[in-house]
């Protein structure tokens, strides 16, 4: 049969955002793919060159609409590396709580979007129900529902509100029970298993060489997590486990990538519970904004020649900011901001991963890598 190119996207249920996947097909079989990105390129890196270090946080929140908190934290750690700021321990605990809650919310958003991709609509409404709980908690911290703008250079915007720890514990305990419900409906759903198992095999060595990181590579059995390899924040003080799958000899399939995310949600919930218990000063204490217990003073300017970078475990992989000091206003702005987006690297790999499978498998494979176009296009 004659081969032909078809365009999936820019508006297609498979894409989870605005981009095009050009697929070369032979009958029903995919023989070549070519991703086409950049539809929502906003020039965040250029815009940041004209903003001071506090203002940039707001833009970093907008990088990913499903995982805003992890992105603003990724920037903040790089900015602290550039400016040489040491953060109070309590602030690090609060940040860890915020980031892990966001990671749960992001994975729930992924699972909620993935279930209808593979024909399970119930999964979507259940996941979004629990995501509401996480967003309520994050709203208590940051004040808004989607873009929290929560961390500050040197600490956090606000301390934990009164009663937050109690509500957080209650909701996470409920959530830990509900994870078992997802496993019950998905692991025993024939259609879910048929569409995810044995589809989209990816090997760990290939993934690492292609620059794929985070949950996707842990699904393939490669136990790599920035949180233990280059510990930042207070992850070295918590007792936690990395979620790693045991894939088959052919590599990890879509089902492994679903399993590892469910497992990671469970681990993140445990980390938040542990962090609330261990928090210095107690989780029920509430310091006023600007208190030295939650925010340290940070210089506003970075001289030329100073650089800072930080690898950060985002919900989708390893994100990184590279900042160069000495921009406009005698160093008040960064001279250059460079962003490593995990999905920008993963999408080309995911597209290669589809070669050899059927057209009907494309949504299952693409969805299992959790694409987010906001951070991809920046």
Partner 1 sequence: MAKEVSAQQTADAAEAIVAATNEKFGDAAVAEVANHTGGRRKNAYVFITVEADRWHDLAAWLAKSQGVDHCSMITGIHWPEKAEATWQIVAHLMRMGVCNPKRIEGRTHETEVDISNLSGANVPMEFEISMSLPATREPSVPSVADIWVGAEWNEKETWDLVGIDFEGHVGMRRVLLPHDTPTGYHPLQKQHRLRYHDFNEMYDDPQGFGRKPDDVGKVK
Residue 3's DSSP bridge partners are 26
125 or 229: CB nearest partner 1: 229
Tell me which residue of 271, 296, 293 sits closest to 281, measured CA to CA.
293
167 or 352: CB nearest partner 1: 352
146 or 296: CB nearest partner 1: 296
71 or 164: CB nearest partner 1: 71
Shortest distance, position 85 Cβ to partner 1, whole Å: 5
Tell me which residue of 358, 301, 243 sits closest to 54, measured CA to CA.
301
Shortest distance, position 96 Cβ to partner 1, whole Å: 12
Shortest distance, position 143 Cβ to partner 1, whole Å: 25
Shortest distance, position 53 Cβ to partner 1, whole Å: 12
Shortest distance, position 321 Cβ to partner 1, whole Å: 10
- Integer CA distances (angstroms), 245 to 37, 114, 138, 170, 219, in order: 30, 19, 29, 29, 5
38 or 163: CB nearest partner 1: 38
Shortest distance, position 368 Cβ to partner 1, whole Å: 16
Give the tokens for residue 224.
Answer: 């790599």
Shortest distance, position 132 Cβ to partner 1, whole Å: 27
133 or 346: CB nearest partner 1: 346
45 or 284: CB nearest partner 1: 45
Q: Positive or negative CA dihedral for 333, 314, 108, 228?
A: negative
């Amino acid at each position: 049969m004659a081969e032909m190119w078809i365009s999936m996207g820019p508006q297609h249920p498979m894409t989870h955002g605005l981009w095009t996947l050009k697929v070369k097909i032979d009958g029903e079989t995919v023989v070549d793919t070519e991703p086409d990105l950049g539809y929502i390129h906003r020039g965040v890196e250029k815009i940041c060159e004209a903003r001071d270090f506090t203002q940039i946080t707001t833009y970093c929140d907008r990088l990913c609409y499903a995982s805003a908190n992890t992105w603003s934290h990724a920037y903040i750690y790089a900015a602290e590396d550039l400016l040489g700021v040491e953060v109070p321990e309590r602030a690090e605990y609060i940040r860890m709580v915020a980031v892990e809650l966001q990671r749960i919310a992001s994975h729930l958003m992924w699972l909620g979007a993935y279930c209808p991709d593979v024909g399970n609509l119930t999964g979507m409404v259940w996941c979004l129900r629990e995501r509401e709980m996480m967003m309520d908690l994050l709203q208590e911290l940051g004040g808004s529902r989607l873009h929290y703008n929560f961390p500050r250079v040197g600490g956090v915007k606000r301390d934990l509100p009164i009663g937050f720890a109690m509500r957080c514990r209650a909701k996470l305990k409920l959530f830990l029970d509900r994870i078992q419900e997802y496993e019950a409906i998905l692991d025993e759903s024939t259609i879910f298993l048929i569409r995810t198992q044995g589809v989209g095999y990816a090997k760990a060595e290939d993934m690492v060489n292609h620059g794929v990181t985070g949950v996707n590579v842990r699904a393939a059995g490669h136990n790599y997590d920035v949180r233990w390899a280059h510990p930042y924040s207070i992850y070295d003080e918590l007792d936690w486990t990395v979620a790693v799958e045991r894939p088959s000899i052919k590599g990890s399939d879509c089902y492994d990538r679903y399993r590892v995310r469910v497992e990671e949600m469970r681990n993140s919930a445990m980390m938040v519970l542990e962090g609330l218990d261990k928090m210095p000063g107690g989780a029920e204490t509430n310091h006023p904004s600007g208190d030295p217990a939650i925010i340290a003073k940070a210089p506003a300017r970075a001289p030329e020649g100073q650089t800072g970078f930080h690898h950060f475990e985002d919900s989708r992989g390893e994100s990184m900011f590279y900042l160069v000091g000495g921009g406009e206003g005698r160093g008040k702005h960064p001279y250059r901001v460079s962003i490593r987006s995990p999905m920008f690297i993963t999408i080309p790999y995911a597209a290669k991963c589809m070669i050899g499978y059927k057209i009907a498998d494309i949504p299952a494979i693409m969805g299992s890598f959790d694409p987010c176009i906001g951070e991809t296009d920046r």
